[in-house]
Amino acid sequence: MPAQWEAHRTSGSTIAAIATPMGQGGVGIVRLSGPQSLDIAEKLFVPGPRFKGFKAYKLHYGWIKNRNQQILDEVLLAYMPAPYSYTREDVVEINCHGGPAVLEGVLEALYHLGAEPAAPGEFTKRAFLNNRMDLTQAEAALEMINAPTQDGALLARDKLQGHLKERVDSLRDSLEKLKQELCLAVDFPEEDLECLPLADLAQRTNSAVREIDQLLKAFEQNRVFREGALVVLAGRVNAGKSSLMNALLGRERAIVTSIPGTTRDYLEEAINLDGLPVRLVDTAGRRPTRDKIEMMGLETGRQLISRSDLCILVLDAGQEPAPEDLDILEEISPGKLVLAVNKQDLVSGTPGWVQDLKDKGLDLVHTSATLGHGLENLTRAIRSRILGEKRPQATSSLAPNLRQKTALDKARQELLLLADEARQEMPYDVLGVRLDYACTFLDEITGRIVTDDILNSIFENFCIGK
Buried b or exposed e, range 20-47, using 16+ CB within 10 angstroms: beeeeeeebbbbbbbebbbebbeebbee
What span, in angstroms and rounded, lies between the C-alpha atoms of 222 and 224? 5
Would the annotation count 268 as a binding residue? no
Instruction: Give me the DSSP letters along 204-259.
Output: HHHHHHHHHHHHHHHHHHTHHHHH-EEEEEE-BTTSSHHHHHHHHHTS--S---SS
Would the annotation count 261 as a binding residue? yes
Would the annotation count 162 as a binding residue? no
Would the annotation count 11 as a binding residue? no
Would the annotation count 240 as a binding residue? yes
Which helix (H) or strand (E) segment is 353 a member of?
helix 352-359
What span, in angstroms and rounded, lies between the C-alpha atoms of 17 and 103? 9
Would the annotation count 260 as a binding residue? yes
Compute the Cα dihedral for 21, 27, 28, 30 and give only its sign: negative
Would the annotation count 336 as a binding residue? no
Would the annotation count 241 as a binding residue? yes
Distance of CA 75 to the CA centre of its chain: 34
Would the annotation count 47 as a binding residue? no
Neighbour-count burial of 413, counting CB atoms closer than 10 A to its CB (0-12 exposed, 13-18 middle, 19+ buried): middle
What span, in angstroms and rounded, lies between the C-alpha atoms of 180 and 173? 11
Would the annotation count 466 as a binding residue? yes
Would the annotation count 48 as a binding residue? no
Would the annotation count 451 as a binding residue? no
Would the annotation count 300 as a binding residue? no
Tell me if 236 sits within 8 A of 287, measured CB to CB: yes
- What are phi and psi for residue 69, nearest 5 degrees? 65, 25
Would the annotation count 270 as a binding residue? no
Would the annotation count 132 as a binding residue? yes
Instruction: Give me the DSSP letters along 63-104.
Output: EEE-TTS-EEEEEEEEEE-TTSSSSSS-EEEEEEEE-HHHHH
Name residues whose C-beta falls within 8 Å of residue 371's C-beta, 6 or more positions apart in sequence: 345
Compute the Cα dihedral for 211, 214, 220, 225 and give only its sign: negative
- What are phi and psi for residue 95, nearest 5 degrees? -95, 110
Which helix (H) or strand (E) segment is 142 a member of?
helix 135-146
Would the annotation count 15 as a binding residue? no
Which helix (H) or strand (E) segment is 112 a member of?
helix 100-112
Neighbour-count burial of 74, counting CB atoms closer than 10 A to its CB (0-12 exposed, 13-18 middle, 19+ buried): middle
Q: Is the peptide bond before 49 cis (omega within 30 degrees of 0)?
A: no
Q: Which amino acid is at 108?
A: E
Would the annotation count 285 as a binding residue? yes
Would the annotation count 93 as a binding residue? yes
Would the annotation count 73 as a binding residue? no
Instruction: Give me the DSSP letters along 32-53.
Output: EESTTHHHHHHHHEEE-TT--S
Distance of CA 83 to the CA centre of its chain: 29
Annotated binding residues for (6S)-5-formyl-5,6,7,8-tetrahydrofolate:
31, 93, 132, 466
Binding-site residues for GTP, in ranges, read 238-243, 257-263, 282-285
Residues within the annotated binding site for Mg(2+)? 242, 263
Q: Which residues contribute to the annotated binding site?
A: 31, 93, 132, 238-243, 257-263, 282-285, 466
| Binding site per annotation, positions for K(+) | 238, 257, 259, 262
